[in-house]
Amino acid sequence: MATCVRLPRCGAPRLRPALLGPRAGGGAPGPGPLRTYAPGLPAALLRTDSFVGGRWVPAAAAFPVRDPASGAELGRVADCGAPEARAAVRAAHDAFRGWKGALAKERSALLRKWYDLMMQHKDDLARIITAESGKPLKEAQGEVLYSAQFLEWFSEEARRIYGDVISTASREKRALVLKQPVGVAAVITPWNFPSAMITRKVGAALAAGCTVVVKPAEDTPFSALALAELANQAGIPPGAYNVVPCSRRRAQEVGEALCTDPLVSKISFTGSTATGKALLHHAANSVKRVSMELGGLAPFIVFDSANVDQAVAGAMASKFRNSGQTCVCSNRFLVQSGIHDAFVSKLAEAMRASLRVGNGFEEGTTQGPLINEKAVEKVETHVSDALAKGATLVTGGKRHQLGNNFFEPTLLSNVTRDMLCAREETFGPLAPVIKFHTEEEALVIANAADVGLAGYFYSQDPAQIWRVAEQLEVGMVGVNEGLLSAVECPFGGVKQSGLGREGSKYGIDEYLEVKYVCLGGL
């Protein structure tokens, strides 16, 4: 067993290098050597190789995965390139022939078994998420439950893929509509929800009868590989679920290989708008089906009629979950003049009272580190730009004393539309407040962005609620509510925030083709 070493700054221990032996009971070969990882991480779920065709496959090179809280190396993971990506696609393509022919009930049962295993290992999976992403353990536990629920949901949706019978104008003809799986799906996921973003896509794909190749984010590959281990234990057939991790250096190469491979029929991507556009360009040459959940710039509007305390509570939930690193986090707070000062004062008070920065494994931590140095620099840039242009610093505003990737939760007032924090997604713990006077003005500001993923507003006026909900140019609206994601509800945006929907009964349609069959001579 590895030896425990205490980290001097946060008190969280880490382990020295360990070599883990083969897994008992046969099956896929055991994982390769793990260099350094946090305490209590489950050896049985920590995998370092790619997972292709039901086997753990090493790569010629490996890349380090680091704890964003300390910078310590958690382990080294297979650094796959284009050849490995293409091999995974071939494995998925070979498996597709059998998987698409499985009964819906059979696919449902296997997804349900995968869900059951996630629930059995929920604490281990949460520790992996916290170790590689830095998010507080309580939030990681919530993500695991959310992630598993997508497998549960789509295990049920697998048996509800219905076709149609259409009446025709001819007595001799009958018209049928079939829904069939599109084929191999390439799934490219982000680091901020390293488990849930996989199951939300893969659950739908497998339920529909598709097979998948997952390229996880380079910062958080361990969650994807742990899910592969559990999928294997659940009996998901070899080749139906494949994982090809890679370093940042090879991400473009692997992404291009997946998007241009003629055996891939579907691309599903969550990430930045810029990367999404590049992947769309690659996918266009072979006209692949594409669904994308891209960047956001969520407005959070507080009208004079709002309950201030409720609005503050909603702002705290919406803004500071995962230290502001979610695509649906409120990015711009628009507060009407009559309630502005009270809202800013109460929000500042709530931030000082309830937000605690620290290592995600420490009890009581609500704000973990940002994912890397580049993320911290972006928050710093947005804060310094706003202050230089006349914003007022209410609280926070700099790197936290813990150093590394920690940043103080920050509140700015007197923010104007020309500031970077009002025009760009910050992806950090920064809450900029813009004062407005009329409903029309608020809608103009909110809808000025070229993206539209989520939006929030607080009002007690029923007529205003209908007007604003209908006029906000976003894919999802929270009315008097700061948290809106749910497995039963469609997730996605408009404008440059993406294409298609995930989750809900609509999510499975992204992986199905509609086929019309005309029966004649009757």
Task: Report, as an integer, the average pLDDT of 109-129.
Answer: 98
Check whether 4 has a pLDDT greater than 70. Answer: no
pLDDT range class, residue 87, cuts 50, 70, 90: very high
**What percent of the chain shows pLDDT beyond 90?**
91
Per-residue pLDDT reduced to its tens digit, 301-341: 999 999 999 999 999 999 999 999 999 999 999 999 999 99
Per-residue pLDDT reduced to its tens digit, 349-401: 999 999 999 999 999 999 999 999 999 999 999 999 999 999 999 999 999 99
Known catalytic residue at 293 = yes
Q: Which residue reads 């006077």 in tokens?
A: 437
Residue 271 confidence (pLDDT): 95
Check whether 122 has a pLDDT greater than 90. Answer: yes
Q: Using CA atoms, how far apart are residues 462 and 259, in angstroms rounded to an integer?
A: 46
Residue 16 confidence (pLDDT): 30
Residue 14 confidence (pLDDT): 33
Q: Would strands 512-519 and 298-302 be described as parallel, antiparallel, or unpaired?
A: unpaired
Domain boundaries, the chain: 40-295, 299-485
Residue 403 confidence (pLDDT): 85
Residue 26 confidence (pLDDT): 36
Task: Report, as an integer, the average pLDDT of 233-248.
Answer: 98
Check whether 28 has a pLDDT greater than 50. Answer: no
SS3 47: coil
Task: Report, as an integer, the average pLDDT of 126-134.
Answer: 97
**Kind plus residue range of the DSSP H or E element containing 118:** helix 104-120
Structure tokens at 258: 């997946």
Check whether 248 has a pLDDT greater than 50. Answer: yes
To the nearest 10°, the Cα dihedral for 374, 375, 380, 382?
110
Check whether 250 has a pLDDT greater than 70. Answer: yes
Q: At what angle do helices 462-471 and 439-446 cross, to 10 degrees?
A: 30
Per-residue pLDDT reduced to its tens digit, 91-105: 999 999 999 999 999
11: left (phi over 0), alpha (psi -120 to 50) or beta: left
Structure tokens at 440: 């029309």
Residue 9 confidence (pLDDT): 33
Task: Report, as an integer, the average pLDDT of 451-478.
Answer: 98
The model scores a pTM over 0.75: yes
Task: Report, as an integer, the average pLDDT of 259-269.
Answer: 97
Q: Using CA atoms, how far apart are residues 171 and 150, in angstroms rounded to an integer?
A: 44
Q: Using CA atoms, how far apart are residues 293 and 267, in angstroms rounded to an integer?
A: 11
Q: Which one, of 252, 173, 181, lies nearest residue 215 by Cα?
A: 252
Residue 404 confidence (pLDDT): 85
Residue 20 confidence (pLDDT): 32
Overall fold of domain 299-485: Aldehyde Dehydrogenase; Chain A, domain 2 (3.40.309)
Residue 39 confidence (pLDDT): 57
Q: Using CA atoms, how far apart are residues 293 and 446, in angstroms rounded to an integer?
A: 19
The number of CA neighbours under 13 Å toward the Cβ of 35 is 13
Residue 435 confidence (pLDDT): 98
SS3 239: coil
Transcribe 226-263 into DSSP letters. Answer: HHHHHHHHHTPPTTTEEE----HHHHHHHHHHHHH-TT
pLDDT range class, residue 254, cuts 50, 70, 90: very high
Residue 234 confidence (pLDDT): 98
pLDDT range class, residue 420, cuts 50, 70, 90: very high
pLDDT range class, residue 413, cuts 50, 70, 90: very high
Using CA atoms, how far residue 215 sits from 44, 58, 270, 298, 509, in Å, is 21, 15, 11, 27, 22
Task: Report, as an integer, the average pLDDT of 468-484.
Answer: 98
What CATH class does 40-295 carry?
alpha beta
For the chain, count helices (H), then strands (E): 14, 24
Of 143, 229, 293, 473, catalytic? 293
Check whether 128 has a pLDDT greater than 80. Answer: yes
Check whether 18 has a pLDDT greater than 70. Answer: no
Check whether 17 has a pLDDT greater than 70. Answer: no
Q: Which one, of 256, 255, 260, lies nearest residue 286 by Cα?
A: 260
Residue type, 511: Y
